[in-house]
Amino acid sequence: MPMPVRSLPLVQNWDCHGCSDCCRTYAVHVSDAEKAKIEAQNWHAEPDLAGVEFFAWDKSEQRLRLNHRPDGGCVFLGADNRCRIHAKFGSAAKPMPCRVYPFVMVPAGDHWRVGVRFACPSALQNLGRPMREQAAEAREYAALVEVDKKTPGDLPAPPLQPGQTVPWGDLLRITAALTEILIAPGVRIERRLRHALALMELCKKSSFEKISGARLTEFLELTSVIVGEELPEHPAKPGWAGRVLFRQIAAVYARKDVGLNAGDMANRSAWGRGIAGYRFALGAGRVPKVHGQLNEAVTFADAEKSLGTLSPEVDELFTRFYRVKLESLQFCGRTNFDQSYWLGFESLVLTYPAAMWLARLFVAGGKPPLEAVQAAVRIVDDNFGFNPMLGSGKQAWAMKILTAKAEISKLIAWYAT
Ligand code: SF4
């Protein structure tokens, strides 16, 4: 009996609109049972698939994956941009990752929560049926992930930080308090993010040994009001070290090495990648083409130019994005490189300046502002929680310095418009 699904992202709509982006981008790993199932579907009898290798060995993951055609598309991607396995045998015949995407199943002690990857354009644009109508599918996905990953039902709550832990119930109370701040109407998104960070900073210094349950909720309500009132309207500019570290992180978030719109980093020699890294550290001249959608001519100076007042759609997108990530707990623990709650939260809010930094480059390259922000959020979220570089020791070190120097709030305010 799989654990129940207790939290669906109710603000989110989704249905697949067959853009085929995921089928051209990701390595889909398959179990032995899935391989046998696909082999039994007798695809070699199809004239255009005779002799085609359906599986390939993923050296970096040491796992079998679905093969890609020379054009980068999955071998089972049809001419109509639809999955041929799905079209012929239905959704249940596909490998587990293809069925679950763009959802992320997050284990939370005795239940599952559901996150969403905004890398999928339908999810990003909120297109399709409301999630509340997809509860049955979510339960199916939970069962699939449980079988595949053998997720234990009694997983402990991720620590808030090393040495500071609370039970699942209190972790959800803290999450509710942060969500309240992040969805507050009539407040700029950058201020809401800074407000939530300020509450986090105060919680980091608190001991929750004797504050739990309803008392914790009261404590969070009170402290949220206090830190909100003390929040500066215009924080100082990010410092030199903060900007250097931030550009390195933004480079990781912007980078795409495979699939549609891949940049040129994978084709560079180690020397060429080193030069690109140096240019990101320097922050001057042209921005290396780490993503295929980046215009060759954009410069680091373009990323420092404000976009002015943005449309309400931009606010709606960021509000939905952070609400879904936060309520699902997709930002910490198992689904974000086993990061502690606070580190995961800091990583999550840093996606805001990262996306806005990239959006400014897209605007400089000719995209209208809303389209630029949408493209940037997709790209950033393609990496968030999935690019191993974001779970590395180097990343944790950079985050530690940004936090110690209180740079994250400054970066959020600086790249806000
Ligand atoms: S990226 Fe999203 S909309 Fe496009 S094919 Fe994949 S699931 Fe469907």
**How many angstroms separate the alpha carbon of residue 355 from the centre of ligand 1?**
21
Residues in contact with 329: Cβ distance below 8 Å, sequence separation at least 6, in sequence order:
106, 108, 113, 115, 171, 175, 335
**How many angstroms separate the alpha carbon of residue 197 from the centre of ligand 1?**
33
* Pocket-testing residue among 12, 14, 15, 20, ligand 1, by greatest number of atoms within 8 A of Cβ: 20
Question: How many other C-beta atoms lie within 10 A of the C-beta of residue 60?
Answer: 7
Q: Tell whether ligand 1 has an atom less than 6 A from the beta carbon of residue 122.
A: yes
With 70 as the cut, is the pLDDT of residue 163 above it? yes
Q: Tell whether ligand 1 has an atom less than 6 A from the beta carbon of residue 385.
A: no
Show the tokens assigned to 351. 């996606």
Question: How many other C-beta atoms lie within 10 A of the C-beta of residue 213?
Answer: 11
- Ligand 1, residue 16: give the atom nearest the CA: 8
* Pocket-testing residue among 24, 84, 101, ligand 1, by greatest number of atoms within 8 A of Cβ: 101
pLDDT grade, residue 359 (50/70/90)?
very high
**How many angstroms separate the alpha carbon of residue 210 from the centre of ligand 1?**
47
Instruction: Collect contacts of 352-355 with beta carbons under 8 A, ≥24 apart.
Output: 352/189, 352/190, 352/193, 352/318, 352/322, 352/412, 352/415, 353/246, 353/250, 353/411, 353/412, 353/414, 353/415, 354/246, 354/249, 354/250, 354/253, 354/254, 354/380, 355/253, 355/379, 355/380
Q: Tell whether ligand 1 has an atom less than 6 A from the beta carbon of residue 73.
A: no
Q: Identify the CA nearest to 113 among candidates 320, 319, 321, 330.
A: 330
Q: Tell whether ligand 1 has an atom less than 6 A from the beta carbon of residue 18.
A: yes
Note whether 179 and 221 are within 8 A (CB): no
Ramachandran angles phi, psi of 273, nearest 5°: -70, -35
Q: Tell whether ligand 1 has an atom less than 6 A from the beta carbon of residue 382.
A: no
**How many angstroms separate the alpha carbon of residue 123 from the centre of ligand 1?**
9
Question: How many other C-beta atoms lie within 10 A of the C-beta of residue 388?
Answer: 11
Higher pLDDT, 326 or 72: 326
Q: Tell whether ligand 1 has an atom less than 6 A from the beta carbon of residue 21.
A: yes
* Predicted pLDDT of residue 151: 66
- Residue 230 burial by Cβ neighbours in a 10 Å radius (0-12, 13-18, 19+): exposed
Give the mean pLDDT of 174-184.
Answer: 97
- Ligand 1, residue 20: give the atom nearest the CA: 5
For every residue of 358-391, DSSP letters joined together read: HHHHHHHTT--HHHHHHHHHHHHHHHTTT-GGGG
Show the tokens assigned to 178. 């942060």
Residue identifier of the C-alpha nearest atom 7 of ligand 1: 16
Least confident of 12-16, 35-39, 266-270, 411-415: 266-270
Q: Tell whether ligand 1 has an atom less than 6 A from the beta carbon of residue 85.
A: no
CA torsion, ordered 355, 356, 358, 361, to nearest 10 deg: 170
**How many angstroms separate the alpha carbon of residue 82 from the centre of ligand 1?**
9
**How many angstroms separate the alpha carbon of residue 149 from the centre of ligand 1?**
23
**How many angstroms separate the alpha carbon of residue 282 from the centre of ligand 1?**
37
Q: Identify the CA nearest to 398 among candidates 356, 346, 340, 322.
A: 346
**How does strand 5-7 pair with strand 63-66?**
unpaired
Q: Identify the CA nearest to 250 among candidates 117, 118, 398.
A: 398
With 70 as the cut, is the pLDDT of residue 124 above it? yes
Structural domain spans, the chain: 1-17+101-155, 27-89, 168-229, 240-414
* Predicted pLDDT of residue 150: 67
Length of the chain: 417
CA torsion, ordered 222, 227, 228, 232, to nearest 10 deg: 170
pTM of the model: 0.94
* Pocket-testing residue among 22, 80, 117, 374, ligand 1, by greatest number of atoms within 8 A of Cβ: 22
Average pLDDT across the chain, whole number: 93
Percent of the chain with pLDDT over 70: 99
Note whether 356 and 331 are within 8 A (CB): no
Alpha carbon separation from 318 to 229, 324, 326, 373 (Å, rounded): 23, 10, 12, 9
Q: Tell whether ligand 1 has an atom less than 6 A from the beta carbon of residue 102.
A: yes
Q: Express the helix, strand and coil content of the chain in percent, nearest 5 each.
A: 55, 10, 40
Please state the separation of Cα 389 from the chain's center in Å.
13
Question: Cα separation of 69 and 88, whole Å?
Answer: 20
Residue identifier of the C-alpha nearest atom 8 of ligand 1: 16
- Ligand 1, residue 25: give the atom nearest the CA: 1
With 90 as the cut, is the pLDDT of residue 284 above it? yes
Q: Which residues pair with 114 in a beta bridge?
A: 105
pLDDT tens across 95-104, in order?
Answer: 999 999 999 9
**How many angstroms separate the alpha carbon of residue 265 from the centre of ligand 1?**
25
Show the tokens assigned to 213. 């349950």
pLDDT grade, residue 145 (50/70/90)?
confident
pLDDT tens across 204-253, in order?
Answer: 999 998 899 999 999 999 999 999 999 999 899 999 999 999 999 999 99
- Ligand 1, residue 123: give the atom nearest the CA: 2
Q: Tell whether ligand 1 has an atom less than 6 A from the beta carbon of residue 22.
A: yes
With 90 as the cut, is the pLDDT of residue 7 above it? no
